A and B are shown apart, each in its own frame.
Chain A
Amino acid sequence: MSRKISKTVNEFNQQLKPISLWADAWKRLRRNRMALISLWIVVIYAIIAVAAPILPFFDYRIQNLDHTNLPPSLRPAGQLAIEKLESQIAVLKERVGSGMDTLKPDLERAEQELAVAKDELISNPENRKVYIFGTDNLGRDMLAKTIYGARISMLVGFIGTLTAVLVGVILGAISGYVGGWLDNLLMRFVDIMYGLPYMLIVIILMAMFRKEGQSSIVILFVGIALVSWLTIARVVRGQIISLKNSEFVEAARSMGAGPGRIIFRHLLPNALGVIIVFTSLSLPSFIMNESFLSFLGMGVSAPLSSWGSLVSEGANTMELYPWQLLAPAIEMTIFLFCMNFLGDGLRDALDPQSKNRT
């Protein structure tokens, strides 16, 4: 054996380094610029979400009633608060001038507040804070709030996807490998579950079983995980069935490998590409479903907040303070956008022959 085993020879007698599926896929993914940018943005989101407690963001719980409803800006909060008060005073003065005497006490109070704010502009360190996403109606930093919401949303997406993949892969693999009545039973069950108006059932579940003021995140997980595994189970089953009679499985079996070993060592690695693509595309859909429920007021409840509940809060005040809607909305949209692009890119990279490209 003079030739190294790691080299192969093609029909032109050239020596080639064998390219693994993964190296090949990575090469294709790297050529897809949008997918690569998306990958970086998703990584940045993940780092910020995981490391938020140790990063120098403000605490999302701190309220500052002097700094309510400040617009997004790079200038210090004290300055913005003074400007807000000045414009308020100007409006009040005009109204008082045109005969609305009942507003006089308001004007006096605003002028006092302005004097205090000017006094404290330098002395109070709170006034040097910069709120780049603005503040909400209790003077909390929108940036910190949306990051905290992102943590919850991404956690739900992550756990939901993990459950879906674990349950779906195991059931799909068993169903496909064993076949027969078990396969029939499982697939009929999957068919029926597909026919259910899933969101309606989850809404009922959430509305009925959550208790006021109590964190309902567990029920949310149950509700979302209930149906999430269906698609992946079907896909994995199909892959297993198409592979289970091939020669390499026969070879493994003849060498005495048990069903467990065949499924997990020989069959599933061949379905890994499909599983990864499914995972990356289902993460955004979980986040969307959770936010959908939170928007309707049935997802995570009051002390916790997610992107959905932040958007829902923001929608109530959007006429006067549009940034309270736009900050979480844009942040969420960028993340979902990148996840979808990344998922598309991964599918093109891992499964270039895919028939389900849309």
Chain B
Amino acid sequence: MSKYIIRRLLSLIPTMFIIVTLSFFLIRFAPGGPFSSEKKVPEQVLQNLMRKYHMDEPMGKQYLRYLGDVLRGDFGPSFRYRDSTVNELIADSLPNSIVLGSFALFCATLAGIGVGIISSLKQNRWQDYTAMSIAVVGISVPLFVIGPVLQLAFAMKLHWFPLSGWITGRDGLKAMVLPALTLSFPYFAYIARLSRASLLEVLRSDYVRTARAKGLPERVVIVKHVLKGGLLPIVSYLGPAFSGIITGSIVVESVFAIPGVGRIFVQSALNRDYTLIMGEVIVYSLILVAMNFIVDIVYGFLDPRIAYK
């Protein structure tokens, strides 16, 4: 087991290395630069800027310098927001994104599993059909449609929630309802479908029949036997779901004007803020890779049939 964990941890290194290298050269070889879109800068100033950010050095040297900095945990100064470093910008925005993302994922998992249980127990009855129709809608409707439509209905017409923005403290919860709802909807739908399918399979399995034959009350059969085995696939879906939440947060943060990593990411890509884009890609990938890793390990603990080789 510990051998497996160590091997998995080591295999994260090449993945991260490829991500860093690929995005570094993708960004550097693109036409235009971080200073090209501004008003015409005098030649001397431009040269000074280039020197300050080490842009006048050969590409290979810049790359090695950047790798060294990243290994020391330093993402460098931002090209666009001159007063702050990338580390500061990410430290400011990441907590907001994490709060929103984990809240959304938590709601999606809870509601999805609940609906999945009801659907599978009432298979082919109206509860099942209603729930699964809603789930297909959830999978079909893009986030950027749900977001504005919810804004239109609940913020502009009914005035139940604020239109957009991000407030810390008690009122913040109210401002977070719409974005979290938007972000969680597709994952809620997917988890509901997934848990329904896997619970149905478990309900027909031999060990559940045995449990019923023993005369156990239905409640005990469901809670102790069916749910234990039937909810395992949800755990392995949480890894991909997390990566979906990350990309989803880009849209949701743009729609609801939330100062998170996703919004900065789009802006920095359009601004060609090289260091900021790189920093964001690295942070995002680290979270993603770490989540997949944790999910795999947790899955191994939960399912004794998985053998680590």
Contacts and interface: CB of A to CB of B under 8 A. Distances in A.
Contact of A197 (B30, B144, B269, B285): B285
B144 A308 contact: yes
B145 interface: yes
Interface stretch (A47-55, A140-148, A244-252, A331-339): A331-339
A311 B26 contact: no
A322 interface: yes
Interface in A76-119: none
B89 interface: no
B251 A295 contact: yes
Interface stretch (A131-139, A157-165, A199-207, A271-279): A199-207
B185 interface: no
A314 interface: yes
Given A200-B265, A204-B277, A325-B149, A284 B27 contact: no
A291 interface: yes
A318 B151 contact: yes
Contact of B250 (A196, A199, A284): A199
A195 B15 contact: yes
A196 B285 contact: yes
Given A292-B251, A340-B139, A204 B15 contact: no
Contacts of A298: 266, 269-270
A358 B285 contact: no
Nearest to B192: A358
A115 B203 CA distance: 73
Interface stretch (B17-25, B45-53, B92-100, B207-215): B17-25
A209 interface: yes
Contacts of B137: 333, 337
Interface string B140-151: 111111011101
Contacts of A11: none
B142 A336 contact: yes
Given A292-B142, A358-B190, A203 B148 contact: no
A262 to B, nearest CB: 31
Contacts of A291: 142, 144
B19 A329 contact: no
A244 B17 CA distance: 36
B247 A322 contact: no
Contacts of B15: 192, 195
A315 B266 contact: no
A208 B26 contact: yes
B285 A208 contact: no
Interface in B111-170: 136-137, 139-145, 147-149, 151-152, 156
Interface string B277-294: 100110011001100100
20 contacts: A195-B19, A200-B23, A204-B23, A207-B272, A208-B26, A208-B272, A209-B30, A209-B31, A284-B140, A292-B251, A295-B251, A312-B144, A322-B152, A325-B148, A329-B148, A332-B145, A333-B141, A336-B141, A339-B140, A358-B194
Given A195-B292, A329-B145, A337-B140, 6 more contacts: A197-B247, A200-B284, A201-B281, A204-B27, A207-B266, A292-B143
Interface of B: 14-15, 18-19, 22-23, 26-27, 30-32, 136-137, 139-145, 147-149, 151-152, 156, 190, 193-194, 197, 243, 246-247, 250-251, 254-255, 265-266, 269-270, 272, 277, 280-281, 284-285, 288-289, 292
Interface of A: 192, 195-197, 199-201, 203-209, 211, 284, 288, 291-292, 295-298, 308, 311-312, 314-315, 318-319, 322, 325-326, 329, 332-333, 336-337, 339-341, 344, 357-358
